Chain A
Amino acid sequence: MTTQQPIQTGSIGLRPPEEILTLKKMGTSFPTRISFMRNIIRKIHHQKWNIERREFKLDRDGFGHAVYTIHTTERPYSLIVFSHDLAPEKRSDRVIAEAWDATFNLFDGIPTKEDIDRLASNTPLQEAGRFSKSEFVLGRANKSLRMFSLLLDCLKSGQQPDIDKVAAVGYLMRTTAVYGSGKFGCADRTAIEERSEIQSSFHAELLAVYLFRSFTTDLIDHIAKSQAPDTAVALNGDIKRFLGIGNSTGLGMAPFLLKHTRLLHQWVTLKETALNRVRNHQDKPDIALTSFKANLAKAILHIHQWNVEDEIQTADILSLRQDMYKFDGWLNDYTVTSTVWNDIYQFATKNLDTEAVSLIESLMIECNGPIVDDLADQMFEGESKIFDPSMDLSTLLELIHKHYSWVDSIDFSQPDNTAKFWYYSEEKLEPRFGDREIVPGAELEMPLSIARDVVDLKKALEASDVQTKVGDFLLTYPEFRHVIKRIQTIDHYPYGEVRDNLIHKETRPIDLLRFKLAFFGASKFDPKSSLWTRINMYQGAPHAHEILDADPDAWAFPVKPELSA
């Protein structure tokens, strides 16, 4: 399926890919109002999707199963959750784990008892189970033991937890994998391509996560009440809303992003279009500035509550805070003009670091829902690559010059520039990023060494007759087939390529993860190494019972609630 490309209007053009698709820039991404989770919450609210808890068969310790059904305007979907007693020695975040506190599916429709029985035998096994086209999503999660214990003790004794302690974690449970798109027999992506309610990227997966969030807060209330029926209180609604769902994200997301060039192009095009529309927008500048200042104050508070252990990210956050104060000072002295949005952008890019610029881009988009929200529903794209064997090599060289001139500065005879490689491990098919000199198996690397492959291709092309057709060239050089397809595809989808050497010694896959997770709408990036990060999803979003009445966009840059004593 192919989406319609947005049409740019206004005098300020879209930014070139080289400016936004570097690892440095991608690694500073923030969610925006057109991110997937934000769009889902708006859809539920505006289209009045009803959510019901159909089954909640848990024992006093919270073990059993539950079913939540969401009735969209088109059809119902159900989250089926199994809650398990997990032995401490089996607790692991890694994809190679074999047991979890909770496992779940997003089911197409309303499950029968037979469906639940079938899934009870498979869902807890995760990758070792087998699923059908009735299941769109398969996932699992573990408790934050610290948070679960804190909240349970408080609620059982009739107390609400200390909000600062709640904020230190921000969720009750953390997903460690959420699979969709045909994995382990689940329904293929094509099964939802024509379903407007969930056809956008990762909407099925993130809808499941949203419903699962309700389960986690229902679970803690249930256990507290079951174990201390005389003294327990329900968790405060403001605290519930501040609790999101944690997630530990590893390397799997990075190859996805690099393989799906057209989808990447579509996502970036839409975000760039949103920013571009805002920069060109000149209507009611006074009102715009007032709205922006209110969101800015919230964003500054949000980043003050963003504290992590990772030294690199901590340094970036401290620098970001300084930059935002500097920006706030400039804004207070700013005399409003009709070009207020572009003035803000220009100041940021000329005076602030990349992380602050990215935050300000997100803020600019945040304040302009009426002119950008339509873009959020176009976040999907077909995947076939473009290939033209009749192209002559001179034209191919022109395309390389046009889209890949950045590779010319990389000397691949230097070991640092080829130090790493991407591969699939035999262990649960986990994608990994290894050191070429240490990990055996570099000959099996994934085709993600794009810059190096382009350089190698250029050498072969320069030794060939440039009038030769690509199809004839490939008869004797089939090894270049994938990179030629990629180059020809990128000529049509220029935002589909990361402009960096992805096998350099210092490459940080976490930059790719943050970029993708920001599109999801995740916040509070908490890197645990250069290879994986924790995040928070739906923190601050309205819960199922209140979503139809709440402002669906009030949860950008979530901050700790102020609780009355």
Chain B
Amino acid sequence: MGISSEAGVKRMSDKFGPVSLSELTFYVNRAAFGAGCYYGVADDITAVAVSLAKKNDDPTILLTKAFDNIANKTVDTKLSKVTSDQETIFTAISENQTSAISAGIAVSDFLKMQSESERFHILVNNVDLPALLILCLKALSETIAIEKAEVSTQSGLQKIECSDVSACSDIQSGDVELTLTNQSLASSKKIPAINDHHNIAVSQEGWNGIRKHFNNSLVLATEESRLSGAGAGVIDTD
């Protein structure tokens, strides 16, 4: 099970690991940065990955897709927000699709800026991975209650349940319409963690995807960087 050498990664089965939470945290965080996320965003997406892993859900496949879209610049991570009496609309500032990661974080921030017990209608236009948007919201907003989550795709209107990550990860891109309620922390139902600290099984394909973006966060090693950047002598017999 080689994770230290990219050349050594073999696809012997579609299961990899188990990995520790620490490893998941480190690799996802660096992978997000390697894909092009800013550090503060990478921290939030890491929290999403950890939250899913603690429920024994494998976050790597969906995150790899999201990172691919960011790295390939097919999505925008900067958003605009328009609020009316009826709803709040989030839209990418360019013609690209809206990154589900950025949208999930933005909607979560928006909810934290509001009063408790309020009900909100939110529309996020042209989201690349609607399921991931919902998962981000659930992970980042402990107090949120999702009454309705629907996505308008080219093939029609689709409800998002997302009680099972793998079952909803194939939902096509589209406009996501949400009805949400901000609850007090005391009244919100916190889903207990199943896996507290270890034995996180991830798919080999997902882990390879994370590793691909992770590797893009690393600086090429040169003799110069080895000598001046790390400092230590190569041989030390004392």
Expressed in whole angstroms, the minimum distance between the Cβ of B222 and any Cβ of chain A is 7
Residues 477-514 of A at the B interface (beta carbon under 8 Å): 478-485
Binding stretch for chain B, among A49-57, A222-230, A433-441: A433-441
Q: A440-B219, A478-B40 are in contact. Are A250 and B230 (CB under 8 A)?
A: yes
Residues 92-122 of B at the A interface (beta carbon under 8 Å): 93, 102, 106, 109-110, 112-113
The answer to whether A182 and B22 have CB atoms under 8 Å apart is yes
Residue from B80, B109, B220 having most chain A Cβ neighbours under 10 A: B109
The answer to whether A424 and B30 have CB atoms under 8 Å apart is yes
B184: Cβ under 8 A from any A Cβ: no
The answer to whether B222 and A439 have CB atoms under 8 Å apart is yes
Q: Chain A: interface residue count, which band? A: 35 or more
Binding stretch for chain B, among A88-96, A152-160, A264-272, A404-412: A88-96
What 0/1 readout, one digit per residue, does chain A (234-272) give for beta carbons within 8 Å of chain B? 000000000000101011000000000000000000000
Residue from B43, B221, B230, B234 having most chain A Cβ neighbours under 10 A: B230
Across the interface, which residues of B come within 8 angstroms of A425, CB to CB? 218-219, 221, 225-226, 229-230
Across the interface, which residues of B come within 8 angstroms of A478, CB to CB? 38, 40-41, 77-78, 102
What 0/1 readout, one digit per residue, does chain B (121-149) give for beta carbons within 8 Å of chain A? 00000000000000000000000000000
B185: Cβ under 8 A from any A Cβ: no
Q: A385-B43, A389-B109, A481-B38 are in contact. Are A187 and B197 (CB under 8 A)?
A: yes
B181: Cβ under 8 A from any A Cβ: no
B232: Cβ under 8 A from any A Cβ: yes
Q: A389-B113, A481-B38 are in contact. Are A94 and B22 (CB under 8 A)?
A: no
Expressed in whole angstroms, the minimum distance between the Cβ of B9 and any Cβ of chain A is 13
B238: Cβ under 8 A from any A Cβ: yes
Across the interface, which residues of A come within 8 angstroms of B230, CB to CB? 94-95, 250-251, 425, 430, 432, 531-532
Across the interface, which residues of A come within 8 angstroms of B41, CB to CB? 478, 481
The answer to whether B113 and A480 have CB atoms under 8 Å apart is no
Instruction: Give the total of B residues in contact with A, Cβ under 8 Å.
Output: 55
Across the interface, which residues of A come within 8 angstroms of B78, CB to CB? 475-476, 478
Give the docked Cα–Cα distance between A481 and B229 (Å).
28
Give the docked Cα–Cα distance between A524 and B209 (Å).
45
A472: Cβ under 8 A from any B Cβ: yes
* B221 touches which of A427, A470, A480 (Cβ 8 Å): A427
Binding stretch for chain A, among B13-21, B60-68, B171-179: B13-21
Q: A130-B1, A475-B80 are in contact. Are A188 and B229 (CB under 8 A)?
A: no
Expressed in whole angstroms, the minimum distance between the Cβ of A92 and any Cβ of chain B is 6
Task: Give A478's nearest chain B residue, CB to CB.
Answer: B38
* A471 touches which of B102, B112, B228 (Cβ 8 Å): B112
Q: A133-B199, A432-B230 are in contact. Are A438 and B38 (CB under 8 A)?
A: no
Q: A146-B237, A478-B40 are in contact. Are A471 and B219 (CB under 8 A)?
A: no
Across the interface, which residues of A come within 8 angstroms of B18, CB to CB? 185
The answer to whether A128 and B222 have CB atoms under 8 Å apart is no
Across the interface, which residues of B come within 8 angstroms of A128, CB to CB? 2, 4-5
The answer to whether B109 and A190 have CB atoms under 8 Å apart is no
The answer to whether B198 and A91 have CB atoms under 8 Å apart is no
Give the docked Cα–Cα distance between A246 and B238 (Å).
9
Q: A389-B109, A471-B113 are in contact. Are A485 and B40 (CB under 8 A)?
A: yes
Task: Give B140's nearest chain A residue, CB to CB.
Answer: A387
Across the interface, which residues of A come within 8 angstroms of B228, CB to CB? 434-435, 438-439
Residues 443-484 of A at the B interface (beta carbon under 8 Å): 444, 447, 469-472, 474-476, 478-484
Across the interface, which residues of B come within 8 angstroms of A441, CB to CB? 219-220
Q: A432-B225, A475-B81, A481-B38 are in contact. Are A251 and B219 (CB under 8 A)?
A: no
The answer to whether A182 and B30 have CB atoms under 8 Å apart is no
Task: Give A127's nearest chain B residue, CB to CB.
Answer: B4
Give the docked Cα–Cα distance between A534 and B237 (Å).
12
The answer to whether A250 and B231 have CB atoms under 8 Å apart is yes
Chain B residues packing against A (C-beta within 8 Å): 1-2, 4-5, 18-23, 30, 33, 38-41, 43-44, 77-81, 93, 102, 106, 109-110, 112-113, 196-199, 215, 217-222, 224-226, 228-238
21 contacts between A and B (CB under 8 A): A93-B235, A95-B230, A96-B226, A183-B22, A184-B23, A185-B18, A188-B22, A385-B43, A423-B229, A425-B221, A426-B220, A433-B229, A434-B219, A439-B228, A440-B222, A476-B93, A481-B41, A481-B44, A482-B39, A532-B231, A532-B232
